[in-house]
Amino acid sequence: MTSLHADEAYLGHYQFSHDPFAARVPGFRFFPAQRKPVLGQLHHLARYSQLLLVVSGPIGSGKTLLRQALVASTNKQAVQSVVVSARGAGDLAGLFRQIAQGLGMQQFDVRSILAQVAQLALTGQEVYLLVDDAEQLADATLEGLFALAAGSGEARPHVFLFAETALISRLEALSDGEERFHAIELQPYSEDETREYLAQRLDGAGQGIELLSDDQVTDIYLTSGGWPGRINQVARDVLIEAMLAQRNAASSSAGLLGLPRKHLLALVVVAIGLGAAWFMQGRQERLAQESPAQVLPEAVAPVAAAPDGTAAEPAAKPEGGASIEFAGSSQPLPLPLVGEAQPVIREPLAQVSGMAEGEEGGEAENLAALPPAQPVAPVAVPSVPPAAVALAAVPMLPVAAPAAPVVAPAPAPAAAPKPVPVAKPVVPQPKPAAVAAAKAGSASAGWYGAQPASQFALQILGTRSEGGAQAFVSKNGAEYRYFKKMHQGQPLYVVTYGKFSSRAAAQAAIKSLPASVQAGKPWPRSFASIQQEAVQAR
């Protein structure tokens, strides 16, 4: 699977509007935990400090996002921000060339740059120089930045370096004990802050934190160390692994040994048919072995020798049925093919087929249509003891026998059993109480639409059963409501609590909830995201 197709499958499986854990996402809001105090400190130091400012942290600690937030939060009329990257600078001249271009200058020496900064100061504008990946700068380039940060008597630019922690020791060596810079080291998120960060990312993509279990959130926190860049990578890997596991489970249950479900069903039907044929054949063989005396009159009649040495007429059957002549080889003559004569209907099969009493004479008429037997040479037949003749003359009770005489017939191919009709499931009619509860849920959904999008509610739980959501709401009080959203192609009913003016107020209200509700780890979410999900579920 190519990367493009993998991304499409990933977004479609979770119904994301975009990848929530990409480096750049549309409409991403600056996550304030652990970073908002640093942002305020940078604004304060830029106004009152004359030192070079350094923001340090490992890869993925959020330095670039903090730099973007610093630029976005400045007053554009009072501050001109120049952002450069140490990756493409090369040396001091290359870095100063980027700074001069940002200021709209042709000369890129220290004196010319400071003169332009002084000129902008006369118009009421300050200059922020922000350098990304500053750990890649050479020591001579860092010395040049120290000179810019010191400024001149007329003006001084504010220089910000965003770098890995190893740069601090190099700057200390270049300062030689002097106070020439101020360093701020970023800290990782706690587990609760990691959960809030994941919730904000998922909320921006149209989903919620319920996609991740508590164990998954804990694993993401421990694996990433709380650094936001690593959180994004690990969370994406966790969701993709869960998606692949669900798809593998679905494909293994859909077919045995890789067979599609319809092929597997066809194999089951054939196996049932073969089993039924084997059972019926064995049953006929057992009947023939257990009742030879009953099968014998149906198959062949004893043949007696006439006084003149010719074959005598066979003894009449008790039911008056026609007899069949045999040649001296003791092998039965072939019966006429279908169409040459009508088959003989015997009791009790005649009654099943609808023949009334007294119609059995038709059997003789049918036999008259049979072709005459070919003359055969007379053979000597051993005399039959009287006891055997008497036994043959005794009428036998009708037994379940084939319609035609049993003369070692060739085994007929087993017919496939008719498919058993599948009963349609009976859909229970909704009870009046359920209908009333559904109306209450619809009213609750309308309540969400009427709330200000900037306010918050506490998400308590999500369930596939609307009855479960209704029972929870009715049990816990009027402050609890639920709405319907679509999750993985199926409806999900989400229970929320209260209405709060800010995320902090909603977070503080968690402590006032019952212990059983707090055990579900409720979390704040905006009415804007709830309204969006409710609209998508319609």
Tell me what pLDDT residue 252 has.
65
Calculate the alpha carbon distances from 261 to 40, 58, 244, 269, 421 in Å: 61, 51, 20, 13, 19
Nearest partner of 66 among 132, 148, 137, 142, judged by Cα: 132
Is there a cis peptide before residue 318, judged by omega within 30 degrees of 0? no
Tokens of 449: 């639409």
Tokens of 136: 């890649």
What is the identity of the amino acid at 163?
A
DSSP 176: T
Cite the DSSP H helix spans in 30-91.
36-48, 63-72
Main-chain phi, psi angles of 132, to 5 degrees: -85, 155
> Which DSSP helix (H) or strand (E) runs through 162?
strand 158-163
Residues in CB range of 291: below 8 A, 6 or more apart = 399
Distance separating alpha carbons of residues 122 and 118, to the nearest angstrom: 7
Residues in CB range of 263: below 8 A, 6 or more apart = 255
Calculate the alpha carbon distances from 91 to 96, 98, 103, 144, 456 in Å: 9, 11, 19, 10, 50
Burial of 60 (0-12, 13-18, 19+ CB in 10 A): middle
Instruction: Give the dihedral of Cα atoms 65, 67, 70, 73; nearest 10 deg.
Output: -50
Q: Would you state the CATH architecture of domain 432-536?
A: 2-Layer Sandwich (3.30)
N- to C-terminal Cα separation, the chain: 33
**Torsion region of 309: left, alpha or beta (phi above 0 gives left; psi -120 to 50 gives alpha):** left
Q: Is it true that domain 36-185 has CATH number 3.20.190.10?
A: no
Beta partners for residue 497, in sequence order: 458, 480
Beta partners for residue 162, in sequence order: 55, 132
Beta partners for residue 526, in sequence order: 456
Tell me what pLDDT residue 28 has.
67
Tell me what pLDDT residue 278 has.
80
Residue written as token pair 């051993």: 382
- Is the Cβ–Cβ distance between 140 and 92 less than 8 Å? yes
Distance separating alpha carbons of residues 346 and 362, to the nearest angstrom: 11
* b/e sequence 269-286, b meaning 16+ C-beta within 10 Å: eeeeeeeebeeeeeeeee
The pTM of this model reads 0.46
Longest dimension (CA), the chain: 155
Distance separating alpha carbons of residues 45 and 435, to the nearest angstrom: 62
Nearest partner of 99 among 90, 110, 140, judged by Cα: 110
Mean pLDDT for back-to-back runs of 10 residues, the chain (538 residues): 59 89 77 84 87 92 89 90 84 86 85 88 89 90 89 84 92 88 92 92 90 92 92 92 84 56 76 83 66 44 44 44 42 43 40 39 38 45 44 42 44 49 48 45 73 93 90 91 87 93 92 88 89 82
Distance separating alpha carbons of residues 509 and 512, to the nearest angstrom: 5
- Is the Cβ–Cβ distance between 236 and 376 less than 8 Å? no
Tell me what pLDDT residue 289 has.
62
Distance separating alpha carbons of residues 20 and 33, to the nearest angstrom: 18
Residue written as token pair 């993985």: 488
Distance separating alpha carbons of residues 302 and 284, to the nearest angstrom: 23
What is the identity of the amino acid at 148?
L
Residue written as token pair 């921006």: 204
Residue 231, helix vs strand vs coil:
helix
Evaluated on CA atoms 211, 213, 216, 221, the torsion sign reads positive
Q: How far is CA 274 from the centre of its chain?
A: 37
Beta strands in 87-216 (DSSP E): 126-132, 158-163, 181-185
